[in-house]
Amino acid sequence: MAEYTFVDIFATKGIEYMVVLLYFVLFVVFTRNLEAPKKGGKKPARKD
């Protein structure tokens, strides 16, 4: 006899929201890291 398993698609909403929130936080950290100047690095020489 086949069993029926009830799957509640809303049961994992909290976890999904946490994953999305974590993604956006890491995205902001990543983009700020790309724009940040290097510490202790020398500026490249200008070629005029």
Checking if the pLDDT of 24 tops 90, the result is yes
- Under the banding of pLDDT at 50, 70 and 90, the label for residue 46 is confident
Is the pLDDT confidence value at 25 over 90?
A: yes
d(CA 12, CA 16): 6
pTM of the full predicted structure? 0.55
pLDDT higher at 38 or 24: 24
pLDDT value of residue 42: 67
